[in-house]
Structure 1
Amino acid sequence: LPEEIVREEAFPSAADAITAVHFPDDRAGLDRAISRLKFEELFLHQLLFAEIRRDRETRTAHAFGINEGYLKTFVASLPFALTNAQRKAAWEIVQDCAKDRPMNRLLEGDVGSGKTAVAAIAVAHVLDAGGICAYLAPTEILAGQQVAALKRFLPKADIHLLTGSRKTVEVAELREDHPCIIVGTHALFQEGVALPPLGLVVIDEQHRFGVQQRHALIEGGDRAPHLLSMTATPIPRSLALTLYGDLDLSILNERPKGRRPVSTHLVLSRDKKWMWDSVRLQLKEGRQVYVVCPLIDPSDTSGAASATEAAKTLQAGELKSAKVGLLHGKMKSDEKVQTLAAFRDGTIQVLVATTVVEVGVDVPNATAIVIMGAERFGLAQLHQLRGRVGRSDFQSFCYLMPDAFTTNAQQRLLALTRIHDGFALAEKDLELRGAGNVFGDAQSGFPDFKLATPADVPLMKKARDWSARMLRQDPQFLSHPLIRKHVRRSLDRVHLE
């Protein structure tokens, strides 16, 4: 760390910090030492992001000219009115794509805030200007759903599905001079498939795609594609800037007009009869229902056993008059697609599932979700699951049914019944669980630090401020040769990976 930071922040020296961590004199000294070591990790990480941004500025991309008349017509053709936040984000993205430097933007939004519509506007803009787009989803089942969603937004577009088990076109048939959309999984890039030059790449569920993979997308070739990443989980702004500091940020913080908050209820043993009566009433009115089962047996890694058992029990008991379907991770890809299609067209009334439905499943007629073993899920994951309903003008319901009710679970579940804003819930989750696994699998995207965690928000802000200050004062690190060496080595590793 530069001497001025150590002095102004009253940090111990590196040697003193290491000594204090292993042989602390008191708690205060240990805390100061840990803060210094965490800060060093975060500070160097922010400098690396700054260097990646600077490196990106040297690369060229295709500048897709803005056809305002076409975009106005396209937006007017949408079956709903865009929110102000959607308009602002879409315009930021379109303006980025009109520049000859590669866009690297993160679109962050709450559940149901309309990220797909914004991405569709970006895709429409690039297609209209003659470019090829790739849309990457985290799983094959979601890739298939995105094809259906994009066809609704862009019925005349040439859309191809390209996943491990399903192909609607061979790569060799794709032509550089023919605008189209290629939809696949993240593996499309990670397995080195030779695609034609891309104008825009949209990455859904960004956290599964690390900084190295993002950087690899703009490597090679004469022109880099523009890159739009989207998060499935709302992340507090301060944390997003640390996790994704190499990206520009657009935030969707409004829900589409007419969408009512999902009425969320904590269901204890005495409430179960009332809850199932309510579910049956929803079904009688022609609506559909999700029942989500947790992973209970650690050996049952996909949760298939608990979901299968729940489906049998419900079909024979509380929901015997309904058509019950089953969806879990052990099913073959085609079976999953068929089951979801049957749920979407109403053939299946109740879908019993594992968390495979957590992200991206969009069935507007589904107005109730029962989450069994609710205490086993984190707040962010519960909010994602709740987001499977509330996708139409009908009032929707979320029933949280815990098996056990510890104090910690009580705080978490009661917070969900009161708070409907995903960003506020993410802040609450940080507060409740500290350095715990705040964002479920999303934290796999957190940098591989030895000490720093997502809960270290004040230190993250401080590290970001200091990195900006240093880059203003010494942009080439001429006065800080050790930092220059570290950043260059880290940047080489990003290039290599």
Structure 2
Amino acid sequence: MTTDKPDWIRLQKALAIEAEQGFSDLVGKQYRFSEFLTLTFGKFPTALPSTERLRWQELATQFASYPNLEREGRQNLVANTRRYLYQLQQQQEDKGNQEDTGTRGHGEREQGDKGTRGGHLRAEVPSVEQSVRRQGDAGNVNKSFSAFSKSQIVAEVSRTLAPKLDQKLKDLPEIGLRKAEKLARLGLYTVRDLLFYYPRDHIDYARQVNICELQAGETVTIVAKVKSCNCFTSPKNKKLTILELLLRDNTGRLKISRFFAGTRFSSRAWQESLKRRYPVGSIVAACGLVKESKYGLTLEDPELEVLAHPGDTIDSLTIGRVVPIYALTEGVGADLVRQAVIAALAAVVHLKDPLPSGLREKYGLMELKDAIANIHFPPDSDTLQPARRRLVFDEFFYLQLGLLQRQHRAKQIQTSAILAPQGQLLERFYEILPFQLTNAQKRVINDILNDLQKSVPMNRLVQGDVGSGKTVVAVVAILAAIQSGYQAALMAPTEVLAEQHYRKLVSWFNLLHLPVELLTGSTKTVKRREIHAQLETGELPLLVGTHALIQNPVNFHRLGLVVIDEQHRFGVEQRARLQQKGEQPHVLTMTATPIPRTLALTIHGDLDVSQIDELPPGRQKIQTTALTSQQRQNAYDLIRREVAQGRQAYVILPLVEESEKLDLRSAVEEYKKLQESVFPEFRVGLLHGRMSSADKDEAISKFRDNETQILVSTTVVEVGVDVPNATVMLIENAERFGLSQLHQLRGRVGRGAAQSYCLLMSSSRSPDAQQRLKVLEQSQDGFFISEMDMRFRGPGEVLGTRQSGVPDFTLASLVEDEEVLMLARQAAEKIIQIDATIERWYLMKEELKYRYERLMGGAILT
């Protein structure tokens, strides 16, 4: 409901009388003073600018709580309101004069629209209770006062005036159709969308300092007096207007500049009007990033607001605040999003918290509505942190709840094969092993055999560092399936790795008199048909292969176990299709890429995880050294010395052929150079991903048989190539690789008894690149390296691909928020223990359905 225009005289008179009578909340003929002001500010005058509606609403709420304020609080509210009304009345009269005389130009309108730039937007960011929008008429509000005590008026006003969560943004008067269309480019259509559109970062301008305390690199706010003001067109660029202010406080002087690009700002009239906003002697609040300039320290692109006096309240959305930074897109500015969020913020009163109060108290979590309000516009950094913590907890909690619920459901399935943990096959296998199993291998084997004895399908991930002996563990599981009358399948992501597994398995299975076959994309048609036939009859107990295993012609007679190596390199559907080749087979997944604990919980939260955290005895530490391009000859000397002693070496490069865009050494060019110029006395081989399968096999076989002493290769050798005689790994352009990948490559050497070396060649002078390579120099612990890799590059890159199933969190960081993730996991486990269906918590169940599907994109990860 609106009125024609504010009754300035009546309002000011009421405020003046209340001040004269000692702020006693005077009783009038119809209302108390506080009730009269609440009703008055509950109606929007038609002449009221849209930018002032939030402040108007805020005053309605503040005066509703007036009876509960101490005398000092009442005095401040009345004084601030009187000053605000006076300034607003002056602005309205100035605007009327400008419109009458036609002196206000396009450029000034542009400046005024920005609000925070010129200090015209006089709207404080409201609190949860303060940020409300008028809905209904004065009669409805008046009725609410009779239904509640005065101490409950604030809550009632908030609920009555706040927009609904499902309300369309175009229906909010502060937004309207035009702005709503722009916000739709960010996927924002409703009030709820805006509330949950979290800032990607915050800038803290809340810290107010003196000029003498300024330090480059900080974001601050200062309040100072204008000593001089100049606005002019740049002599070097006629389309650039510069505003220069010289500010001074009791501690020093500061020169700041603002720049306006565009011919509309070049008119002398506009420049003079801008100068009038900052007259000499006026008090200005300015905020920005402190930077060095040729004049000394200054504020970069500062926000400015003129104050009535040094202690005046700063009304800007930016100055003196912790400012939210939102993800934007073309045509959608930061001020538009901030003002839209403020318009929607009152709706938090409608939010119902899905987390029970007991759970919130146990984990020290802020209530949801307060967290939402304070993630957008916190009063200070100290309030921002608990708000963020609550919302990060929610992101982790609902993911873990979904994963654990899925795990619980899977364990209700009782249709998997029960496999024997003991038998002649396993006994014979242990006898033919030429080495003793480590304690870590024995522990993991025990985990697996316990799983296989249950009718619930096993779903276990085995993590192990390079060379820790995961394959032996997998063979034990495979033999347990075979001796129980079932078949097994082992799928690897590359032909090189599948071939490596096949060779190792053949050497063991021949001694056990068991057949095993290899199926890849390069398997001949005749052989392929033979394998298909043997699988269907059950003659073939084990099939090793690549993606070829999931093709339609591949049908198992009785598949009881699926082993997937480097499982994160397969898509969700590919893994699922292999499992569908049998009736709920047991699943064992393996990875030689150690995954940080937080990442493992996030993408494998529904799996049982075992770690082989011990290397076989006798392995020597690989000497790792980071080298510059000037030290290349040292690397070549080491290779020459090792090869002369009968050893072999790898030279790894990131590219196959020269790229015009990247100044990197290519595998093909390097191969020619090494063979012809550097090591003509040795035989050099070449291996890369573009070669045919036959050529790859030939290159690997020659290197394995020591027919070539030096193998130039791309990262195709990262996993699967096992040549114990190789003792040197030279990695060119090492800064181009992730730490986990470098660790994997390093693991190709050190597989024999001789001392091995890894040389990380880098031409980068970047401190970050050098720091990353030092991690490899100092540690050979794959789990520590993966943690560091995630800190440097992020979780998606650690797994080798951005499409690796890592959930897309809005706020949560797997690097920074490990403690919150662990608490969320703990809380989710307790909820599942009490009621795995979550039926008793309806709101939590609905939130889980919405969040989990959205976070996971509807995908089943494992």
Question: TM-score scaled by structure 1?
Answer: 0.90
1:42 to 383, 393, 396: 396
Query: How far does residue 63 in structure 1 lie from its aligned partner after superposition?
Result: 0.9
1:129 — aligned with what? Answer: 484
**Does residue 261 of structure 1 match 2:621?**
yes
Q: Is the 8 A contact 2:486 2:560 kept in 1?
A: yes
Judge conservation of contact 2:405–2:832 (CA < 8 Å) in 1.
Answer: no
State the AA in 2 paired with 1:55: R
Task: Indicate the residue corresponding to 1:439 in structure 2.
Answer: 798
Structure 2 counterparts to residues 17-416 of structure 1, below 5 A: 17-18=371-372, 20-23=374-377, 25-59=379-413, 60-155=415-510, 156-166=513-523, 168-170=527-529, 171-186=532-547, 188-189=549-550, 193-209=554-570, 223-295=583-655, 306-416=666-776
Change (3 A) 1:217 1:394: same
Deviations 1:195-230 (A, max 9, x none): 433111100002124666656655686x31111000
Q: Any conservation in 2 of the 1:295–1:301 contact (CA below 8 Å)? A: no
Give, in whole Å, the separation in 1 of the partners of 2:801 and 2:774: 23
Structure 2 SS opposite 1:201 = strand
Moved more, 189-198 or 64-73: 189-198
Contact 2:565-2:589 within 8 A present in 1 as well: yes
Q: Could you tell me which residue of structure 1 aligns to residue 356 of structure 2?
A: 3
Gaps of 5+ in 2: 1-353
Contact 1:89/1:250 (CA < 8 Å) preserved in 2? yes
Q: Is the 8 A contact 1:303 1:328 kept in 2?
A: no
Q: Unpaired segments of 5 or more residues in structure 1?
A: none
Matched residues in 1 for 2:441 and 2:861: separation? 36
Contact 2:538–2:556 (CA under 8 A) maintained in structure 1: no
Shift of 1:125: 2.1
User: Does the C-alpha gap of structure 1 residues 434 and 346 become closer, same or farther in structure 2, counting only changes over 3 Å?
Assistant: closer
- Larger C-alpha radius of gyration, 1 or 2? 2
| Greater RCO, 1 or 2 (C-alpha within 8 Å, sep 6+) | 1
- TM-superposed CA distance for 1:28, in Å, is 4.7
* Secondary structure of 2:829 counterpart: helix
Secondary structure class of the residue paired with 2:460: strand
In 2, distance between residues paired with 1:496 and 1:46? 13
Between 289-298 and 66-75, report the one with greater CA deviation. Answer: 289-298
Q: Is the 8 A contact 2:658 2:666 kept in 1?
A: no
Shift of 1:80: 1.9
* 8 Å Cα contact 2:656-2:667 kept in structure 1: no
Give the SS at the match of 1:174.
Answer: helix
RMSD over equivalenced CA pairs, Å: 3.1
Between Structure 1 and Structure 2, how many residues are aligned? 495
Helix, strand or coil: the match of 1:154? helix
Q: Write the deviation string for residues 260-306 of structure 1: whole angstroms up to 9, x where unpaired.
A: 11111122244322221111011111111110112499969999981
CA 1:211/1:37 → structure 2, altered by over 3 Å: closer, same or farther?
A: farther
Secondary structure of 1:119 counterpart? helix
Contact 1:131 1:179 in 2 (8 A): no
In structure 1, what is the Cα distance between the partners aligned to 2:740 and 2:606? Answer: 24
CA contact (8 A) 2:620 2:750 kept: yes
Determine if the alignment matches structure 1 residue 418 to structure 2 residue 773. no
Out of 321-330 and 237-246, give the one that drifted further.
Answer: 237-246
Preserved contact between residue 796 and residue 806 of structure 2 (Cα < 8 Å):
no
SS state of the match for residue 199, structure 1?
strand
**Residue identity opposite 2:831 in structure 1:** M
Hey, what's the Cα distance between the residues in 2 that align with 1:301 and 1:198? 49
CA drift at 1:32? 4.2
Identity %: 41
Q: Deviations over 1:82-127 (max 9, x none)?
A: 1111122122212322222211111100111011111112112222
Q: 1:228 to 1:298 in 2, by over 3 A?
A: farther
On the 8 A contact 1:131/1:198 being kept in 2, the answer is yes
More deviation, 130-139/455-464: 455-464
Measured after TM superposition, the shift of residue 176 of structure 1 is 4.6
Residues 189, 29 of structure 1: alpha-carbon distance in 2 compared, 3 angstrom cutoff: farther
- Look up the equivalent residue of 2:491 and give its one-letter code: L
Letter in 1 for 2:564: I
2: CA distance between counterparts of 1:214 and 1:175? Answer: 21
